[in-house]
């Protein structure tokens, strides 16, 4: 994946301008913003959610772990999804309450 420096060189602008064009495009003049957008299109850019989470210290996700509570917990309840989880070996299921998302 190209770096911000490569986008800046391709657009003929500074790295700060590329950053502003991506994070707050209203403060970048239209011709400059178009050059940055063209460089991004040519070189291929896709946001990195993990990097953004590290920078902002926010993921927008919630992880809830519960001990195995079957049969007391009914995964068929409205808005509750049960997914198998084998990554840690000690958690049999991850249950997530979904609020208006599928």
Does the structure show a pLDDT above 80 at 82? no
Q: Give CA separation, 98 vs 62, 63, 80, 93, 101, in Å.
A: 10, 12, 6, 15, 6
pTM recorded for the entire structure: 0.52
Total of domains in the chain: 2
* Six token digits for residue 75: 């995964």
Q: Which CATH number covers residue 48? A: 1.10.260.40
Helix 15-23 and helix 4-11, axial crossing angle in degrees, nearest 10: 100
**pLDDT by residue (tens digit) across 25-79?**
999 999 999 999 999 999 998 888 888 888 788 877 777 776 665 555 555 554 5
68 and 31 in one domain?
Answer: no
In terms of Cα–Cα distance, which of 13, 57, 68, 16 is closest to 38?
13
Q: Domain span at residue 49?
A: 4-56
52 and 10 in one domain?
Answer: yes
84 and 42 in one domain?
Answer: no
Tell me if residue 35 falls in helix, strand or coil. Answer: helix
Those residues whose C-beta lies under 8 Å from the C-beta of residue 29, and which sit 6 or more positions away, are none
């Amino acid at each position: 994946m190209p770096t911000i420096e490569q986008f800046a060189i391709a657009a003929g602008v500074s790295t700060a301008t590329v950053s502003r064009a991506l994070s707050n495009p209203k403060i970048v003049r239209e011709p400059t913003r178009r050059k940055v957008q063209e460089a991004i299109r040519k070189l291929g850019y896709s946001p990195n959610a993990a990097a953004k989470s590290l920078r902002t210290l926010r993921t927008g996700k919630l992880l809830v772990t519960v001990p195995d509570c079957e049969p007391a917990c009914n995964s068929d309840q409205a808005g509750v999804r049960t997914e198998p989880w084998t990554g840690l070996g000690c958690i049999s299921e991850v249950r997530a309450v979904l609020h208006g998302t599928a």
